[in-house]
């Protein structure tokens, strides 16, 4: 069994003084460049249906790009707060009428074009 060593009182008070003495800062910040990250007012950055980034076209659109059907270049916001590629949620809504994530009745709140992919044509 280990024994507890007795520490003389003068040693203990010296240690306390060393620990409580303010020390000089190790470094000084001369310049600060703040970095901000931009995003839409959404909580997710991927489409839960196709699992692709909402900043890029949907997987379906990337596989079959079409000038007549560019819904893969837009994102749809639901009233429930969830966001999907427009073509993904349209395909989902052909068989169900609820949000794929929360099962609330799906209603479109707004539709926006993915930045950098032209004007919204719908």
12-68, pLDDT tens digit by residue?
566 666 566 667 777 777 777 777 655 555 566 899 999 999 999 999 998 988 888
Specify the higher pLDDT residue, 113 or 9: 113
Map tokens 């901000």 to a residue: 36
> Looking at the predicted structure, is the pLDDT value of residue 81 above 50?
yes
Class of domain 59-113: alpha beta
Tokens of 68: 């007549």
What are the residues whose beta carbons fall under 8 Å from the beta carbon of 39, sequence distance 6 or more?
A: 45
C-alpha distances in Å from residue 118, one per residue of 60, 110, 114, 121, 122: 18, 17, 8, 9, 12
Residues 6+ apart with CB under 8 A from 67: none
Decide which of 100 and 118 is more confident. 100
- pTM score, two decimals? 0.61
């Amino acid at each position: 069994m280990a024994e507890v060593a007795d520490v003389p009182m003068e040693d203990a008070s010296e240690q306390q003084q060393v620990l409580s003495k303010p020390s000089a800062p190790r470094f000084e910040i001369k310049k600060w460049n703040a970095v901000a990250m931009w995003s839409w007012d959404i909580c997710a950055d991927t489409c839960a249906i196709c699992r692709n980034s909402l900043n890029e076209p949907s997987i379906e659109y990337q596989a079959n790009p079409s000038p007549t059907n560019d819904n893969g270049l837009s994102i749809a916001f639901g009233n429930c707060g969830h966001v999907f590629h427009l073509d993904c949620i349209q395909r989902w809504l052909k068989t169900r009428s609820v949000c794929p994530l929360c099962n609330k009745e799906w209603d479109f709140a707004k539709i926006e074009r993915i930045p950098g992919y032209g004007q919204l044509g719908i």
